[in-house]
Amino acid sequence: MYSGKLFEFLEHTADVLVRSYGETFKDALSNIAKGMFEIITDTTRIEAKISIDVSICGFDLENLVYKWLEELLYYHDAYNYVFSEFDIKSISEELLDGEKVLCLKAQVRGEEFDDKKHEPRTVVKAVTYHQMRVEKSNNKWIIDVVFDI
């Protein structure tokens, strides 16, 4: 696990820009998800009461990041779940309808949002591609995502 800063919030005019870090792409993906839920509530107060298996595919790294966060946001919007633990099990290249895609399998843990327990912060309306960045620099992965609030 990456021993430095996991994520940070950067200046953005109207929305929220989160930058995550990781020694591996998997770590950076976990940390960007944690950053997204930190916008919504204090993730230190989320208990791992439920576990959900997530399986998504994207046509490149940026699309994989987008679909990963979009899937987690779906669970929040549809079931009122908030997550604090993100265990990326695998990322593999697969063939889907004759096209190469990147597929991610993960397990996320959290619980249903309870405003008596969890601090309501800001509503995340959507994940965006605006200013999205996925890169490896100086032996660490960096992911930037702007969230529409």
Q: Over the stretch 22-74, which tens digit does the pLDDT of each residue have?
A: 999 999 999 999 999 999 999 999 999 999 999 999 999 999 999 999 999 99
DSSP symbol at 44: G
Residue 11 has pLDDT above 80, yes or no: no
| Domains of the chain from N-terminus onward | 7-148 (3.55.10.10)
Which residue ranges make up the annotated binding site for Ca(2+)? 15, 148-149
The three-state secondary structure class of 125 is coil
- 14 vs 17: CA distance, rounded Å: 9
Predicted pLDDT at 3? 52
What is the average pLDDT score of the chain? Answer: 94
Predicted pLDDT at 144? 97
Sign of CA dihedral 148, 114, 75, 1: positive
Mean pLDDT for 85-109 is: 96
Q: Amino acid letter at 82?
A: V
Sheet containing 50-58, strands listed edge to edge, beginning at the edge strand earlier in sequence: 50-58, 99-112, 81-96
